[in-house]
Structure 1
Amino acid sequence: MPLAFLRSGDMANVVRVRGKGEVHHHLENLGFVEGAAVSVVSEQAGNFIVQIKGASVALDRSVASKIIVA
């Protein structure tokens, strides 16, 4: 399911990042790679703050929808 479906406090593992190009590459550089644990710190109005590999990252709903988690 897409990361955008998670709510504050939820945890999951990255399965894959959909899409190609610049956004895909940028997300991989931030740590969104297969098997990485991600937790949602907060979610408001479709914007997310997530914790991944010890860093906090802000994502909007369209970008969060590209990240598939389980």
Structure 2
Amino acid sequence: MPLLLAEIDIPYIIVRIAGREKERHHLESLGLIPNTVITVVSKFNNYILINVKDSRIGIGEDLAKKVILK
């Protein structure tokens, strides 16, 4: 399931990062790597705010589609 469809306040595990090399590298530099636990904090104005590794990160819906969760 892509991150875009994740529900708020439920922990998920990243299975893989899809997309082009540049997009994957950018997401991985933000700490979004496979086997990492993330939680969606909120969704607003085409952005998703997530908790990852004790940090909060906001990404757009276009990048959120590239993060595949379990």
Q: If the length of structure 2 is used for normalisation, what is the TM-score? A: 0.90
Percent of aligned pairs sharing the same letter:
27
The CA distance in 2 between the partners of 1:45 and 1:11, in whole Å, is 22
Q: Which 5+ residue runs of structure 2 have no aligned equivalent?
A: none
State yes or no: 1:59 paired with 2:59.
Answer: yes
Which residue in 2 is equivalent to 1:23?
23
Count residues in correspondence: 70
Q: CA deviation at 1:28?
A: 0.6
Give the 4+ runs in structure 1 shifted more than 3 A. none
Partners in 1 of 2:40 and 2:59 — Cα distance?
A: 11
Partner secondary structure for residue 9 of structure 1: coil
Structure 1 gaps, min length 5: none
Rounded Cα–Cα distance in structure 1 between residues aligned with 2:17 and 2:48: 16
Cα RMSD, aligned residues only: 1.1
Deviation at 1:21, TM superposition (A): 2.1
